[in-house]
Amino acid sequence: MLPGWLCVFLCIPLLVTGCNETDIAAPPIDGAWYKGDLHCHSTHSDGDSSVAEVIASAESLGLDFFVITDHDGSMTGSPTQWYDPDYQSDQLVLLYGVEWTTGLGHANVWASEPFDYEDLWLANRAQDARMAIDAAHEQDALFSVNHPSAFLCCPWEYEDYEGLDSIEVWNAMYRLPNFNFVSTGVFWDEHLLSGRRIPGLGGSDTHQLKGFEAIFLRHAEPTTWVFAQEPSADALLAAIEAGRVSVSHEPAGPRIDFVADTDEDGIYDAMMGDNVLLEEAKDVTLLIRIASQETLNATGSVVELPPQLMADDDGREADMAEDLIRCGMDVINVSPVDIINYGENVHAGQGLGRGIQRQI
């Protein structure tokens, strides 16, 4: 089974839990999970299908949000797909995006409405990522690095820059051709370990609905899930920026819910994307649920991680399968789930903090 992932950032000095089982807690904030695809192309750049066909494909999958991110170079810096009369939908929340495309790396730029792309295009011609990030933010847009560890084409070769809003750690198929396991296990980890709080997300990067690639590269594979207060472009982008994101390998595939009780009162008051500052070291309970689309709104079984896993600072990954069996975790209506991997990132920033990453 293709692996999935999520990341939660809880800046906490100590993580110790037991092996008790309980019902899933309600999310600590108001909102809901919305699913979509943040990276694809049409005939306005190098895709083989019209905007109307691409939108219809997304609608057929039951997605909640969607964006066509055609290459800026193919459109000489003018995002023509935004003004295509077929760029509309009664079913989808549509974002406005472009793939900033240079010889040293690609990045998606998303906003809630059309924006002035001139300065981003100038940054493209200058191959200046710092200028591009600043230009995106001046337009109230997010700047997200694409397929940073791609093998065949277009890895991210710019120097690290402050202000990146997210990283596409899962692009198209998981292992090939873009080496996503390097994006998650090296590129993203290095940023987290440096103290940068950068959300990770996914994008299908679909180009073809009719050609050979359509056999194995399809919309919403992977699917990015965003926990937002409402299904609007502004709310979705704010949630992405906050890190309230999870990724599954397809819309109906298993993904992870992750909440935490940070003050030992039995109430789960933080979720993925939250920063939690504690005045003193104390126990923090993490609850994880593996959920599929069919069980997202149902009460599921969760497990508190055993302390020996939480204390495993030396290894990036540890096999959790035996521990979950020992804890009696019952994964309901999610099949197949072969293994759960554990990874922990220790942040080097102000104070003592950790980021917790989970993969299935």
Question: Within 10 Å of residue 66's Cβ, how many Cβ atoms?
Answer: 25
Q: What's the pLDDT at 196?
A: 77
In this structure, are 193 and 283 located in the same domain? no
Q: Contact at 8 Å (CB) between 275 and 10?
A: yes
Q: What's the pLDDT at 118?
A: 98
Question: Within 10 Å of residue 359's Cβ, how many Cβ atoms?
Answer: 20
- What does the pLDDT look like over 149-161, one tens digit per residue? 887 788 899 986 7
With vertex at residue 28, the alpha carbon angle to CA 201 and CA 324, rounded to the nearest 5 degrees, is 70
The last residue of a domain, from among 248, 268, 289: 248
In this structure, are 54 and 200 located in the same domain? yes
Distance CA 271, CA 255 (A): 15
Distance CA 142, CA 163 (A): 9
Write the CATH number for 69: 3.20.20.140
In this structure, are 178 and 64 located in the same domain? yes
The last residue of a domain, from among 228, 248, 268: 248
Query: Total domain count for the chain?
Result: 2
In this structure, are 196 and 316 located in the same domain? no
Place of tokens 């926990």: 227
In this structure, are 46 and 100 located in the same domain? yes
Q: What's the pLDDT at 352?
A: 35
Joined tokens for residue 354: 């950790």
Range(s) of the domain holding residue 266: 5-27+257-359
In this structure, are 54 and 22 located in the same domain? no
Strand partners, 24: none
In this structure, are 163 and 110 located in the same domain? yes
Joined tokens for residue 2: 């293709």
Joined tokens for residue 202: 């996914």
Q: What's the pLDDT at 283?
A: 67
Which CA distances in Å does 216 have to 152, 175, 220? 17, 13, 12
Q: What's the pLDDT at 173?
A: 78
Q: What's the pLDDT at 24?
A: 40
- What does the pLDDT look like over 203-217, one tens digit per residue? 999 999 998 888 888
The last residue of a domain, from among 227, 248, 269: 248
Listed as ranges, residues in the chain with pLDDT below 50 are 1-25, 294-355, 360
CA-nearest of 178, 150, 139, 145 to 161 is 145
Distance CA 59, CA 181 (A): 29
Angle between helical axes of 118-126 and 129-138 (0-180°, round to 10): 170
In this structure, are 137 and 48 located in the same domain? yes
In this structure, are 325 and 201 located in the same domain? no
In this structure, are 81 and 187 located in the same domain? yes
In this structure, are 187 and 263 located in the same domain? no
In this structure, are 72 and 174 located in the same domain? yes
Q: What's the pLDDT at 292?
A: 59
Q: What's the pLDDT at 335?
A: 29
CA-derived radius of gyration, the chain: 20
